[in-house]
Amino acid sequence: MRVLYFNQYFTTPKGSYGTRAYEFTRRWVRAGDSVTVVTSLYDKSDLRPERWISKLLVDGVEVRILKIGLSNRHGVGYRALTFAAYAILSCWYALVLPADVVVCSSGPLTVGLPGLAARWLRGRAFVFEVRDLWPEGAIQLGLLRNRLLIAVLKRFERICYLSARRVVVASEGMAQWIEQHHGIRDVAVIPNASDNELAAELPAKPGLPEWASGKQLALYAGAMGFIYDCEQLLRMAEYVQNWGARQVEIVVIGDGAERPVLEEAARRRGLSQVHFLGSRSREEVFQWLKVSCCALSIVRDSPFFDMCSPNKIYDAFAVGIPVVQDTQGWIKWLLEREGCGLTVPRGDTEAMSRAVVQLAEDAGLRAQMGENARRVARELFDRDLLAGRMREILQACAGRG
């Protein structure tokens, strides 16, 4: 099977972003498929092309990189331009490269354009993969207010859903939303995966700094931008310091537009129990996870996030540590059912701080939840399992083509 995959955020574990596309595609190659990925130049990726258009071979996957810079630090207008440029240029590859099935991975929503070109101009099987619901997310967060633009994007979104031979989403909540709003019933759920391979290969973080030695670390690894309530990390540090919980240290790995502001605020408020480590490779994030008592997942107060599928929870499952998080949808029910983490009310910093202290102090609870997390990673979210399910969907679509 020849797979043509459009994903604007492709990276490997050497980078500092989710590796869903890399892990799935290299497994398809190993199973005998021919896979070409068309991506752009994301600043969290480890791929650094020198030419305007570069072609690399990454673990058997042919990766074509369009040197269109993309960063979460960019403003909304600039990012919109980079999304549009990538989508338009990618249409050329959708038309000329050989493929039995074309996969477009959104967000951004504009990545659906080459899929439409392949579907309507070449009659190719088009699979629309939805990792984030757009424009719904931007609307709920107040980032998108222009009524005409909203109407255009919603119409484009609907065309993508209706044109796709199969829609694949990252959570049950997304599947339900698409069915309710667009009447698409045959939606496949392929969540993000736990990298059990990487977790088994890497040792714990060697040579911990003095402030981390012998402490219980609560790790937040992710972006520090508008959609994440990272100010809550500072409020947590205030709570644990005021309570005298000296055994707890809050570790923050990642980057984003709000990072300098947060670091300055932490210094100004004398928060000695929160530590900003900046961007780290995915491999180093796993090493820090292995020496942590729990992983934190924090979002802003919007029901949109109840449908999300954040990579950080799957990484925590893989290394076997509990998750402390504040979404109120499918992740909450998963943690309760499987006993692998704690959920607090959204925006309740005191409750999240108490959950962290509880795990830091209760070794038995921590160990039990950690073992449950490993089981969940193996049984529900293993990369081999999920890559195989996705491949079956692509084969079915290509066969029908």
CA dihedral (374, 130, 132, 65) positive or negative: positive
CA distance 220 to 217: 10
Q: Looking at the DSSP assignment, which residues form a beta bridge with residue 53?
A: 66
CA distance 266 to 259: 11
Digit-by-digit pLDDT tens for the chain (401 residues) are: 999 999 999 998 888 788 899 999 999 999 999 999 999 988 778 888 778 888 999 999 999 999 888 777 777 778 889 999 999 999 999 999 999 999 999 989 999 999 999 999 999 999 999 998 888 888 887 778 889 989 999 999 999 999 999 999 999 999 999 999 999 888 999 999 999 999 999 899 888 999 999 999 999 998 887 778 889 999 999 999 999 999 999 999 998 888 999 999 999 999 999 999 998 988 999 999 999 999 999 988 888 888 988 999 999 999 999 999 999 999 999 999 999 999 999 889 999 999 999 999 999 999 999 999 999 999 999 999 999 999 999 999 998 54
State the residue for tokens 């309710």. 180
CA distance 33 to 31: 6
CA distance 115 to 38: 12
What Rg, from alpha-carbon coordinates, does the chain have? 21
Give me the pLDDT at residue 255, please: 87
CA distance 388 to 30: 11
Give me the pLDDT at residue 318, please: 97
Nearest to 286 by CA among 306, 263, 314, 323: 314
CA distance 20 to 274: 30
Nearest to 46 by CA among 63, 30, 34: 63
| Residue 194 DSSP symbol | B
The DSSP code sequence of 108-151 is SGGGHHHHHHHHHHH--EEEEEESS-TTHHHHHTTS---HHHHH
- State both tokens at 235: 């409020």
CA distance 355 to 298: 13
Give me the pLDDT at residue 269, please: 96
| Residue 222 DSSP symbol | S
Give the list of residues 6+ apart from residue 196 with CB closer than 8 angstroms, or none. Answer: 318, 377, 378, 382, 383
The full set of domains in the chain, from first to last, is: 2-193+382-400 (3.40.50.2000), 196-379 (3.40.50.2000)
Ramachandran category for residue 321: left, alpha or beta (phi over 0 → left; psi -120 to 50 → alpha): beta
3-state class of 393 per DSSP?
helix
Nearest to 119 by CA among 105, 99, 135, 138: 99
State the residue for tokens 């990369």. 383
| Cα dihedral: 73, 232, 254, 363 (round 10) | -170
CA distance 289 to 301: 26
Answer for the pair 42, 13: CB distance below 8 angstroms, yes or no. no
Parallel/antiparallel/unpaired status of strands 248-253 and 216-221:
parallel
Q: Quick one: angle between helices 349-361 and 363-379, nearest 10?
A: 100
Q: Give the DSSP H or E segment for 168.
A: strand 166-169
Answer for the pair 5, 38: CB distance below 8 angstroms, yes or no. yes
Label residues 305-340 b or e (16+ Cβ within 10 Å = b): bbbbbbbbbbbbbbbbbbbbbbbebbbbebbeebbb
Give me the pLDDT at residue 401, please: 41
CA distances from 127 to 104, 131, 259, 395, 396 (A): 6, 13, 36, 11, 11
Give me the pLDDT at residue 141, please: 77
pTM for the model stands at: 0.89
- State both tokens at 336: 């309760």
